[in-house]
Chains A and B, each alone.
Chain A
Amino acid sequence: MKKLTASIVKFPGSNCENETLEAVKYFNFDAYFISHKETVIDSDLVILPGGFSFGDYVSCGRIAKFSPVISSLKELIKRRKIFILGICNGFQILTEANILPGAILENIGGKFICDDVELTFLNKNFSLPIAHHQGRYYIDNFEDLKNYEIIKYKNNPNGSMANIAGLYDKKRYIMGLMPHPERNVITPFKSKDGKNIFEFIRNIIEKDFYGII
Chain B
Amino acid sequence: MELYKKLKIDDIVYQNIVKKLKRKPNDFETHLFSAMHSEHCGYLHSKKYLNDFYTNNNFQNENAGCVQIKDHCIFFKIESHNHPCAIEPYQGSMTGIGGIIRDVLSLGAKPICLLNSLKFGRIKESKTKYYLSEVVRGISDYGNSTGIPVISGETIFNEQFENIPIVNVLAAGIVKADKIKFSSAKENSYIIILGSKTGVDGLGGATFASDVLSENSKRSSVQIGDPYLKKLLIEATLKINSLNSILACQDLGASGILSSTSELCYKGKCGAKLYLQNVHVQNENITPLEIMLSETQERMAFIVEKTGLEEFKKIADEFELEFSIIGETTEENHYSVFYKDKLLADIPLEALCEPYLYTLKSLNKKYEKNIKTYNIKDDFFEMINDENFCSKKYIYSQFDQEVQGRTAFSQKENSIGILYLKEISSFIAFCIETNIDVSAFDAAIHSFLNLYRKLVSFGFEPLGLTNCLNFSSPDDINVQSDFLETIEALKKLSKDFLIPVVSGNVSFYNETNNYKIPPCATFSMLGAIDDKNKVIKPNIYHNDKIFLLGDCNCVFPDFSYEINLKNIIFDLYEKKLIHSVKTINKYGIIGTLLKNSLFYGIGFEISYKKDLYFKKNLPCYLLLSNHGDLTEELKKYNIPFQYLGKYLGDKIKFDDLVFDLDEINQIYQNKICFEMEK
Contacts and interface: CB of A to CB of B under 8 A. Distances in A.
B140 interface: yes
A16 B145 CA distance: 10
B227 A55 contact: yes
B260 interface: no
A16 B403 contact: yes
Given A12-B232, A13-B228, A183-B402, A189 B397 contact: no
Contact of B407 (A16, A52, A57, A187): A187
B405 interface: yes
Interface in B349-405: 396-405
B145 A19 contact: no
B397 A115 contact: yes
A172 to B, nearest CB: 28
B281 interface: no
A112 interface: yes
A55 B228 contact: yes
A131 B403 contact: yes
Contacts of B396: 114
Nearest to A55: B228
Nearest to B143: A112
Interface string A165-197: 000000000000000101100111110000000
Contact of A51 (B147, B226, B535): B147
B408 interface: yes
A15 B402 CA distance: 11
- Contact residues on B (Cβ < 8 Å of other chain), bracket: 35 or more
Nearest to B404: A19
Contact of B147 (A15, A180, A182, A183): A15
Nearest to B673: A109
Contacts of B320: 12
Contacts of B141: 112
Interface in A104-152: 111-115, 129, 131, 133
A188 B405 contact: no
B144 interface: yes
B140 to A, nearest CB: 5
Interface string A1-41: 00000000000110110110011000000000000000000
Which of A56, A180, A183 has the most CB atoms of chain B within a 10 A radius of its CB? A183
A112 B399 CA distance: 7
Contacts of A13: 145, 228, 231-232
Interface string B523-544: 0000000001001010000000
Contacts of B532: 188
Contact of A112 (B140, B229, B420): B140
Nearest to A51: B147
A190 B404 contact: no
A114 B400 contact: yes
A183 B147 CA distance: 13
Interface in B218-265: 226-229, 231-232
B293 to A, nearest CB: 27
Contacts of A133: 140, 144
Given A13-B145, A112-B140, A188-B427, A52 B404 contact: no
A18 B423 CA distance: 13
Contacts of B452: none
7 contacts: A12-B319, A13-B228, A52-B228, A111-B398, A113-B397, A114-B396, A131-B401
Those 6 A-B pairs whose CB atoms lie nearest each other, nearest first:
A19-B405, A55-B228, A15-B147, A52-B145, A189-B408, A131-B400
